[in-house]
């Protein structure tokens, strides 16, 4: 017995021997086909499977059928709660198709090797929510595994991309601060300030209202980033009365920084953020936030990766959920 | 060409043909052995790999070597931020060994099938942070894949288990509320109240101080659970002046419920929670919390699953991080 055999333990042949059938009949029984198996034979096979503790080898099955019961999702990191919620939404959508989901984290420079590893592992489809380099993007196309890229602002070459309308969603949020609450100096906090569609939406809303662009303070998307950005804003831009935050988590950190100075939202500074995550509801005050319809996007990503990965871009409306941080109620 | 071949695309045989070598030499080149390959031949093989876009098949490699470069982690759901942070910590520990990590979610009733799927996919080791039924636990032992169970309060049969000292950690937290801040009526909020080691720690601390057991309000671990529990506490137990929360996320929801009534922590109700998650620092007020040393636990889980899965239980000290919600400063 080779080392590999020892690791795999009980084989299909062992099951066949105990049940007194051919290995093909074991396969037909476990895979529900392609040929029918008599009920009594099936019972004998399943009893042998149980007695021996036989576990069909998914890697072998994937090799022989070229199919697998697994989808893979790549995100920058589930440590950012937006991606954790997205992973859970994709998992629910996969489960509705009887598929399991595995999740792998990959920051931009790691996307290519992570995708390569998943493709080699015979996943049935790949959903990528990570930001990828141009090289990695070429790999997705070459890989042969059906791939959908989600959380994208705009089309990428001949890939199928899905994503919220970051720009219009942010415009609405900033517009609300201007029209409903009369703010004239509105900052933008967090994220990648250059080329981000949210920044474009913020710019558009201010320009449309004839207002000067407030300060834009770049940073990441975490609470720590939000605290840093808000501390800088309070120190350097006392004229600002409201801020649009690139993520809910960023806004949560911004609220903490505001509290350090004894300030509160919305009285001392009004906030609107982006994501529509469950956490936004539990901030004090509850966050007014632009909602990404992650369940719809996850559902469509799973359906399309299984059936139709024709190139194109699908954009989802991101509606404003109005709560307290903007000044409402 | 069969359907399976088409799905897999370029084969090792294609590479061998283009490079003018045997398929074995292609393997030796790509796997750095077991036999040596002349430099010029190696260069020809790698050029053919590049030209054809050949990608070695991880499933096939796993089958032939019985090894893989992949660890798997099973958690109840990454949507609970504690598990998202745990997943990130395990991923960092895996990366330090040159291994990738895939994460699968499984609620208690789904642990067995999820583990079966991962084992069949030839992962090198399995780290389970999910609560499993007794049946599923038997499966881990039978599976043959090295398995470590983390986040456990106490030993499970002949498995290797790791986990924080929930009981002593909670005792310290409750003790702090009693000794440093003079609370006499201290509630317990959230989680599974029966048999949870945190509840035991809370009970022990109150008993040791000669105090009556305050109310224990069962629930889950999410912000929504915390809001529900705190609303009930404020409505039904006005005599309570402090509460121990089973998780940081629960405490965040409890703070939101307190704010609904115009109340604040620690003045109207002092809080200590459990987890030591990054989010605890950004709550207003910042949470005093019992810290689970997830990096140490993740590091040991990866090291042990690769090298030494002898049965036993490793317990980690969970220290109190003192911030504002308890009444300090």
Q: Is B46 exposed, middle or buried (0-12, 13-18, 19+ CB in 10 A)?
A: middle
Residue A117 has a pLDDT of 74
Q: What is the pLDDT of residue A46?
A: 76
Residues written for chain A: 329
Say whether pLDDT at A7 is over 60: no
A-B contacts at Cβ under 8 angstroms: 167
Q: Is the fold of B3-56 the same as that of B70-165+294-316?
A: no
Cβ burial, residue A230 (10 Å; 0-12/13-18/19+): buried
Per-residue pLDDT tens over the stretch B24-51: 888 787 766 678 888 888 888 877 876 7
Region A3-56: CATH code: 1.10.260.40
| CA dist., res. B316 & res. B295, Å (int) | 11
Tens of pLDDT, residues B281-308: 999 999 999 999 999 999 999 999 998 8
Average pLDDT of the segment spanning B109-124: 77
Identify the residue among B221, B284, B329 best suited for mutation to test binding to A, counting A beta carbons within 10 A and taking the highest.
B284
* Inter-chain CB proximity A253 and B282 less than 8 Å: yes
**Minimum distance, in Å, between the CA of residue B260 and any CA atom of chain A:** 9
User: A92-135, pLDDT tens digit by residue?
Assistant: 999 888 888 889 988 887 787 788 777 766 688 999 997 776 66
Q: B70-165+294-316 domain in CATH 1.10.1060.10?
A: no
- Tokens found for residue A160: 């199928």
Residue pLDDT, tens place only, B140-163: 665 678 889 999 998 888 889 999
Beta strands at B147-149 and B100-105: parallel, antiparallel or unpaired: unpaired
**Closest by CA position to B231, among listed B201, B263, B267, B206:** B263
Paired tokens of A159: 């890939």
**Smallest Cα distance from B59 to chain A, Å:** 5
pLDDT at B296: 96
Top-confidence residue, A243 or B49: A243
* Smallest Cα distance from A325 to chain B, Å: 13
3-state secondary structure of A34: coil
Q: Which residues contact B157 (CB under 8 A, 6 or more apart)?
A: B137, B141, B311
What residues of chain A lie within 8 A of the CB of B84, using their CB? 78-79, 81, 84
Cα A203 off chain centre by:
26
Confidence of residue A225 (pLDDT cuts 50, 70, 90): very high
Residue B329 CB burial class (10 angstroms; 0-12, 13-18, ≥19): exposed
For chain A, give every domain's residue range: 3-56, 70-165+294-316, 166-292+321-326
B200/B67: higher pLDDT: B200
- Give residue B55's pLDDT: 62
Q: Do A102 and B105 touch (CB under 8 A)?
A: no
In this prediction, residue B107 carries a pLDDT of 83
Confidence (pLDDT) at A42: 82
Q: Is B35 helix (H, G, I), strand (E, B) or coil?
A: coil
Per-residue pLDDT, averaged over B198-225, amounts to: 95
Q: What is the ipTM of this complex?
A: 0.78
Taking the CA atoms of residue A119, residue A122, residue A127 and residue A129 in that order, the dihedral angle to the nearest 10 degrees is -40
What tens digit of pLDDT does each residue of B249-277 get? 999 999 999 999 999 999 999 999 999 99
For the segment A9-62, what is each residue's pLDDT rounded down to a tens digit? 567 888 888 888 988 888 887 766 678 888 888 878 877 876 776 666 555 554
The residue of chain B with its CA nearest to that of A123 is B59
Cβ distance B293 to B317 under 8 Å?
A: yes
Instruction: With a cut of 80, say whether residue A201 has pLDDT above it.
Output: yes
Q: What is the DSSP string of A212-267?
A: PP--EE---SSHHHHHHHHHHHHHH-TT--EEEESSHHHHHHHHHHHHHTT--TTT
Nearest to A79 among B88, B116, B285 (CB): B88
Best CATH choice for the domain B166-292+321-326 from the list 2.60.120.10, 3.40.50.2300, 3.30.1950.10, 3.40.50.720? 3.40.50.2300
B273 Rama sector, left if φ>0, alpha if ψ -120 to 50, beta otherwise:
beta
Of A146 and A227, more confident? A227
Contact B102, B155 (CB under 8 A): no
Q: B78: which chain A residues are within 8 Å (Cβ-Cβ)?
A: 78, 84, 87-88, 103
Parallel, antiparallel or unpaired: strands A319-321 and A288-291: antiparallel
Is the predicted pLDDT of residue B211 greater than 60, yes or no? Answer: yes
Distance CA A327, CA B262 (A): 17
Bigger pLDDT: B131 vs A135: B131
In angstroms, rounded to a whole number, what is the distance separating the alpha carbons of residues A81 and A85?
6
Report how far apart, in Å, the C-alpha atoms of B302 and of each of A186, B138, B297, B299 are: 47, 21, 9, 5
Residue A8 pLDDT more than 60? no
Please give the Cα distance from A37 to B50 (Å, whole number): 46
Q: Which two tokens stand for residue B256?
A: 């939101």
User: From the list B65, B70, B120, which residue is nearest A55 (CB)?
Assistant: B120
């Amino acid at each position: 017995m080779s080392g590999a055999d020892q690791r795999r333990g009980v084989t299909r042949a062992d099951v066949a021997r105990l049940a007194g059938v051919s290995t093909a009949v074991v396969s037909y029984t476990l895979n529900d086909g392609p040929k029918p198996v008599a009920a009594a034979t099936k019972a004998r096979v399943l009893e042998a499977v149980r007695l021996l503790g036989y576990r069909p080898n998914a890697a072998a099955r994937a090799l022989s059928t070229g199919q697998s019961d697994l989808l893979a999702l790549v995100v920058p990191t589930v440590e950012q709660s937006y991606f954790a919620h997205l992973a859970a939404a994709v998992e629910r959508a996969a489960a509705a198709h009887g598929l399991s989901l595995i999740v792998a984290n990959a920051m931009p420079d790691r996307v290519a090797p992570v995708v390569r590893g998943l493709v080699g592992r015979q996943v049935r489809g790949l959903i990528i929510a990570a930001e990828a380099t141009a090289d990695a993007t070429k790999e997705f196309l070459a890989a042969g595994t059906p791939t959908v890229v989600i959380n994208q602002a705009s089309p990428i070459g001949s890939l199928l991309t899905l994503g919220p309308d970051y720009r219009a969603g942010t415009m609405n949020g900033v517009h609300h601060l201007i029209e409903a609450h009369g703010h004239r100096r509105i900052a933008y906090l967090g994220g990648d300030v250059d080329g981000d569609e949210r920044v474009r939406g913020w710019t558009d809303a201010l320009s449309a209202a004839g207002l000067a662009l407030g300060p834009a303070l770049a940073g990441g998307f975490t609470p720590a980033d939000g605290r840093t950005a808000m501390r800088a804003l309070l120190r350097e831009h006392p004229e600002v009365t409201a801020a649009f935050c690139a993520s809910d988590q960023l806004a949560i950190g911004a609220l903490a920084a505001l509290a350090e100075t004894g300030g509160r939202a919305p009285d001392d500074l009004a906030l609107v953020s982006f994501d529509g995550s469950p956490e936004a509801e539990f901030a004090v005050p509850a966050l007014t936030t632009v909602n990404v319809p992650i369940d719809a996007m996850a559902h469509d990503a799973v359906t399309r990766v299984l059936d139709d990965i024709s190139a194109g871009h699908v954009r989802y409306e991101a509606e404003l959920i109005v709560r307290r941080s903007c000044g409402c109620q």
